[in-house]
Amino acid sequence: MIKRRLLPSILVLLLAAPAARAQAGLAEALTEAWSRHPAALAAPDRAEAARASAALAGAPTPAPATVALAGLTDAIDRDRGRREWELELAVPLWLPGQRAARAGEAEAIAAEVEASLGLARLELAGTLRAAWWRLAGARAARELASRRLDDARALEADVERRHRAGELARTDANLAAEERLAAETGLIDADAAQADAEQDWRTLVGQPAPVLLAAEPVPGATPDTDHPRLVARAAAARLAHARIRIAAESRRDAPELALRAERERGARDEAYGHAIGLRLALPLRDHTRPRRDQAEARADAATADAELARARLELAGEQTRARRALEVAERGIALTRARLVRLDDNLRLAGKAFALGETDLASLLRSRALAREAEAAGARASIARDAAVSALAQSLGVLP
Give per-residue pLDDT as tens, 373-393: 777 777 788 888 999 999 999
Task: Using alpha carbons only, give the angle 166, 172, 176 rounded to the nearest 5 degrees.
Answer: 125
Percent of the chain with pLDDT over 90: 52
pLDDT: which is higher, 172 or 50: 50
7 domain-assigned: no
pLDDT digits (tens, 9 = 90+) for 165-213: 777 778 878 888 888 898 899 999 999 999 999 999 999 999 888 888 8
pLDDT digits (tens, 9 = 90+) for 53-93: 999 898 999 989 999 999 888 878 787 888 899 999 999 99
Supply the range of the domain harboring residue 211.
Answer: 21-326
369 domain-assigned: no
Is the full-model pTM beyond 0.75?
Answer: yes
Phi, psi of 39 (to 5 degrees): -65, -40
Taking the C-alpha atoms of residue 160 and residue 167, their distance in angstroms, rounded to an integer, is: 10
pLDDT higher than 70, residue 255: yes
CA dihedral 36, 41, 42, 44 (to 10 degrees): 150
pLDDT of residue 244: 93
> What is the rounded average pLDDT for all residues in the chain?
85
pLDDT of residue 241: 95
pLDDT higher than 90, residue 131: yes
pLDDT of residue 314: 94
321 domain-assigned: yes
pLDDT of residue 343: 66
Taking the C-alpha atoms of residue 4 and residue 377, their distance in angstroms, rounded to an integer, is: 16
pLDDT of residue 21: 38
pLDDT higher than 80, residue 127: yes
> In CATH, what number is assigned to the domain containing residue 86?
1.20.1600.10
377 domain-assigned: no
3 domain-assigned: no
Please state, as a whole number, how many other Cβ atoms lie within 10 Å of the Cβ of residue 129.
22
Residue 172 in contact with residue 365, Cβ under 8 Å? no
290 domain-assigned: yes
pLDDT of residue 265: 85
Give the mean pLDDT of 246-261: 90
Taking the C-alpha atoms of residue 20 and residue 23, their distance in angstroms, rounded to an integer, is: 9
Tell me which residue of 310, 386, 354 sits closest to 137, measured CA to CA: 386
pLDDT of residue 8: 42
Taking the C-alpha atoms of residue 130 and residue 136, their distance in angstroms, rounded to an integer, is: 10
pLDDT higher than 80, residue 48: yes
Q: How many domains does the chain have?
A: 1
DSSP 88: E
Distance of CA 251 to the CA centre of its chain: 40
pLDDT of residue 360: 67
249 domain-assigned: yes
294 domain-assigned: yes
CA dihedral 164, 165, 168, 170 (to 10 degrees): 20
